[in-house]
Structure 1
Amino acid sequence: MVISGRAWFTPGVPGIYVVLLCDVLTELGHDPAPLLRGLGFDRQGLLDPECRLPLDQANAAAEAALARVGEAGLGFRYARAMRITLHGPVGLLALSSPTIDDGLDAARRYLGLRAPFLNVQREPLEDDRQALCFRTDFGPGPVRSFVIEAMVIGFVYMLEQLMEAPPDGAEVHFQGPPPAHAEALRRTVPVPVRYDQPRDALIVSAALLGARPRLADPQAEALAREQCELEFRRWRANQEGPLPERVRAALRDQAPPLPDLTEVAERLAVSPRTLKRHLQQAGLTYRELQDEARYRQARKLLADRALRISEVAWALGYNDVANFSRAFKRWSGQTPKAYRGGGAPA
């Protein structure tokens, strides 16, 4: 069934981003029609301003595109095709902000309106630079690699569009080894790109953060911020429900390692203090909800008998296998080895 009407505003991925994915596939010589049929949408339906795709459908679209493209570097090509104006009032707010720093903060604050699967945290570095560190809800695999590459490089091109010039003082860091398309990416992206780094991040200098976007305009910024706040309130209204259950849902969809309380509070658009208070009123702590999620993730990972117990521990964020074993026994009454029946590699 092809849906050509509205998919009413719900937290999810805007349909316009899937349209852009189809256009990139076309540029690479692939027919996007099977992808659209698989989603049950047509192009007109996806272009509706209120169309949002649930994360599982967005994931399916990315998987289908990657299956067609293979090692062609879909992530950075997608980022290169992205224009800041496609982000609606969020993009306009970034364009009209008084400094690059303000523009990046605006993009981070309203990120959930456009990319609810992504979290960006700022981390100061010792040399007065800042790292915008990217994390995604997608687990390890090609989709996660695509999303991280597209989002980090997308922020580079956003800076270029804000400055109307290459963003001097920026560089890209990726955690993994160079992919097959690394050289093509480096020739295309206007900043240094480094692999085998400790974080997936966009590194920006203090001078770049203090620069003024070419289209900075206080009146346009105020109007865009008002629009973003209106959309943000609508987005939050669609997430309403008991806050502890919303935390559980956020942790359920999160790939390991789990975020801390401050990160989850930011994602749910509440203060850490408010989140703690709601959990206390429900007789819960954030640690307990983290343990619930870790226990669920541990059972899932332990079911893959190709993984050593030490690998499961590291994937869950434990540096010491013994600590993981003690935690798992506290949750289940069994050690990880006993849970597997005693025959799993350690």
Structure 2
Amino acid sequence: MVTSGRAWFTPGIPGIYVVLLCDVLSGLGHDPAPLLRRLGTRREQLLDPEFRLPLERADLAAEAALALVGEAGLGFRYARAMRITLHGPVGLLALSSATIDDGLEAARRYLGLRAPFLVVEREPLGDGRQALCLRTDFGPGPVRSFVIEAMVIGFVHMLEQLMEAPPEGAEVHFQGPPPAHGEALRKAVSVPVRYDQPRDALILSAGLLAARPRLADPQSEALAREQCELEFRRWRANQEGPLPERVRAALRDGEGAPPDLAEMAERLAVSARTLKRHLQQAGLTYRELQDEVRYRRARKLLSDGTLSISEVAYALGYNDVANFSRAFKRWSGRTPGAYRGGGPGQAG
């Protein structure tokens, strides 16, 4: 179990969010015990306020949950179960802010403390409205759809809690066509939901942004902001801290084939020799870290099914499909074709 204050800020998500996922699964009639066994953790560990689940294991949790639920719409159901108080000081700051605009900006600024895999950007739309645009480093596929849906609807639910009423002047926009559970989602959400849009975003009117949350309180806001800033400085210090973790973060946030050692060293403003030495001191090699991200991206691309196996290989920087197949079998124990097909077999 993670217990030190420093470890609290290692990359990952608070365990309480996985507890909530387990509770949502239970509410849908599924036993969450196999998911916890797959993660190698217990509910008691996840409830520890200092526990952080690494992003790779959080990814596994989402995959396992989606496999159980199928087309039932796990994302919006998860968002509906979320309470703003579960976000700790970040939620308190949003609740006590002077305006909805201030509360949303606080949530956006400190999002890395709770969801380091997500980026939220504000985009003015020219008619007084603004868009909170969401993007994530998850590749195309069910996990990305789950994360985006949960976060966008989660912002709607946060607005409902700030206003203690349906947030008039808000709309939800999703890229792509409606999913199988699209009609159920529309009925469950208190604002218009539109698909086939240019962005995944929450659209907000000027009037809604200027509205005052029901629990606005300057003293509570100041205290919560002080707590958030303290956490944020520690989190940023850790992001800029141990070189191996900075390498992992840079690889995770990139796209396409991972850069080579010299390119990564240049990106991190250190020499290749220094980078190699720090990795050796941590018992790692750059090749191992490259393989971590290649394996994660390979699983996403193979599961998505849009690209052929040879195209997946080239996207990951392999010039030879056979080399990619051997590497993937070393990582997973299965060929790419067997992984895509869900059983034993050879890559096609």
Tell me the equivalent position of 2:251.
Answer: 252
Q: CA RMSD in A?
A: 3.2
1:13-28 matched pairs, under 5 angstroms: 13-28=13-28
Separation of aligned partners in 2, 1:224 and 1:100: 16
1:100-179 matched pairs, under 5 angstroms: 100-179=100-179
Deviation of 1:233 (Å): 2.0
Separation of aligned partners in 1, 2:100 and 2:167: 10
Tell me the equivalent position of 1:212.
Answer: 212
Q: Which amino acid aligns with 1:144?
A: R
Tell me the equivalent position of 2:44.
Answer: 44
Could you say what secondary structure the match of 1:253 adopts?
helix
TM value normalised by structure 1: 0.74
- Conservation of the 8 A alpha-carbon contact between 2:35 and 2:64: yes
- Conservation of the 8 A alpha-carbon contact between 2:239 and 2:245: no
Separation of aligned partners in 2, 1:101 and 1:51: 31
TM value normalised by structure 2: 0.73
Separation of aligned partners in 2, 1:189 and 1:249: 37
Tell me the equivalent position of 2:67.
Answer: 67
Separation of aligned partners in 2, 1:154 and 1:101: 16
Separation of aligned partners in 2, 1:20 and 1:45: 13
Separation of aligned partners in 1, 2:240 and 2:181: 42
Deviation of 1:38 (Å): 1.2
Tell me the equivalent position of 1:31.
Answer: 31
Deviation of 1:230 (Å): 1.4
Tell me the equivalent position of 2:230.
Answer: 230
Deviates more, 1:35-44 or 1:160-169: 35-44
Separation of aligned partners in 2, 1:238 and 1:306: 37
Q: 1:165 to 1:57 in 2, by over 3 A?
A: same
The percentage of aligned residue pairs carrying the same residue is 75
Give per-residue Cα distances to partners, 1:114-169, cap 9 Å, x unaligned. Answer: 00000000011021110100001111111000000000000000011001110000
Uncovered stretches (5+) of structure 1, i.e. residues with no partner: 259-277, 285-292, 317-331, 342-346
- Conservation of the 8 A alpha-carbon contact between 1:93 and 1:106: yes
Deviation of 1:249 (Å): 4.1
- Conservation of the 8 A alpha-carbon contact between 1:6 and 1:45: no
Q: How many residues align?
A: 284
Separation of aligned partners in 2, 1:188 and 1:92: 25
Separation of aligned partners in 1, 2:163 and 2:170: 12
Separation of aligned partners in 2, 1:221 and 1:243: 35
Q: 1:39 to 1:307 in 2, by over 3 A?
A: closer
